Amino acid sequence: MNFGFLGIQFGWGLQMANMSAIYEKLGAQPDEIPLLWLAAPMTGLIVQPIIGALSDRTWTRLGRRRPYFLTGAILASLALLAMPHSPALWAAATLLWILDSSINISMEPFRAFVADRLDDEQRPLGFVMQSFFIGVGATLANVLPYVLREWLAVTGRAANGVPLATLYAFQLGAAVFLGAVLVTVLTTPEDPPADLEAFRREQAKAGFFDWIKDIGTALTSMPTVMTRLAVVQVLTWLGLFCMWLFFGPAIARSVFGATDPAAPAYDEGINWGGICFATYSVVCFIVAFALPRLAARYGCGMVHAASLTCGGLGLLSTGLATNRYWLLVAMVGVGIAWASILAMPYAMLARALPAHRMGVFMGVFNFFIVLPEIAAALTFQPLVKYVLGGNPLYVVLLGGTSLLAAAAATLLVERPTVAASYHPA
């Protein structure tokens, strides 16, 4: 059921670890990078709630959710093949919009797919298994360019300056993305609506823009748990966005001493950034196995707050790093947080949502992931240039502070007594 997430996260991982470096190779300045990343949150804001609402109203021979994440996988794989061949900055930015749109077409129905297939007691474990496969996919994606360069001696650059190790990693990523999603599509069936004929009649009556009404209704009728989780998500994903945008360039400068994107030390720093991301992904899929039992004992809210605290302290500690290996220690805290981020909010949310509208509510919940990212993309250019002196390390430290604030907000989401409703599988 969750295997397709390995492929989706493989695509995300390649993008997160390498796009800032690709942009700089094509001539972008550090303060321009946040705006160039605007594609990721904007497509999430637009695509995920629409796809969620449409999939709630869909039934085909492939089922309800599977047609969407299969279509997204095909389009994303094509974008991954083209991305490292971008001849100019505008081409890379355009392909990022296409890639992010495609990934979002796949991702949102997958969240609803797991909630559809599992009951309340199984959902925490189901979302934790998503964390496991996401961790595996991200680990493989983040370490791949390093392995190609350092172990397999893939050197040289494409005509646009992108290292061949990065180019080959994107090509392999395209195959992994599509192949993993196909495993889920071909092995995990969906249950049809209880009254399929009534569902067909509703489909026939529905107007083309009824999904807009669905999104508006979901926004105005959010359960209390969802409203409180929205604050947590805003702070969490602001912190993550700070890390993803600037971690590689930050350590290339602060630890590897490279200020010129054309310098070999800069490439070494970016590749080590991929190893760091792989480290937190490994920690993620290891920690994922412990989360259901911890949630059963202490409640999802307490577990999530503690995990976010670990992530915030991990990012803040990068400011003290004097060598590359300390960064791996810092990533342990980030990995603990990442495992919880991918599971606990959705486990808390899913049981508060009506089953027949799971897709649209999950899509609306994504608003609180992408809105802080959009705000960051639009405002970080003057912040980085004029306030932070063009130093990307300070943005990473800001991300750590934001994760600590998210941990505090999590304690307000639900009462500790909810822990009694969870039982480890």
- Nearest to 27, CA basis, from 94, 74, 90: 90
DSSP labels, 26-73 = TT--GGGHHHHTTHHHHHHHHHHHHHHHHHHT--BTTBSSHHHHHHHH
Check residue 207 and give its pLDDT.
Answer: 60
Q: Which residue in the block uniquely carries the two structure tokens 């949630």?
A: 295
Name beta bridge partners: 63.
60
Which residues fall within 8 angstroms of residue 319, CB to CB, at 6 or more apart?
393, 396, 397
Q: pLDDT tens digits for 13-60? A: 898 778 888 888 888 887 787 778 777 778 878 887 888 878 888 888
Instruction: Identify the pLDDT of residue 178.
Output: 96
In the predicted model, residues of the chain with pLDDT beneath 70 are 203-211, 414-425
This prediction's pTM: 0.74
Domain that holds residue 380: 4-421
Number of domains the chain is built from: 1
The pLDDT, as a whole number, for residue 417 is 39
pLDDT digits (tens, 9 = 90+) for 199-248: 777 766 666 566 677 778 888 888 889 999 999 999 999 999 889 888 88
Burial 125-143 (b: 16+ CB within 10 A, else e): bbbbbbbbbbbbbbbbbbb
Instruction: Give pLDDT, residue 237.
Output: 93
Q: Kindly report the CATH number assigned to the domain that includes residue 349.
A: 1.20.1250.20
Measured distance CA(363)–CA(115) in Å, rounded: 13
CA nearest to 398, candidates 232, 270, 257, 235? 235
pLDDT of res. 327: 93
The predicted pLDDT at position 208 comes to: 55
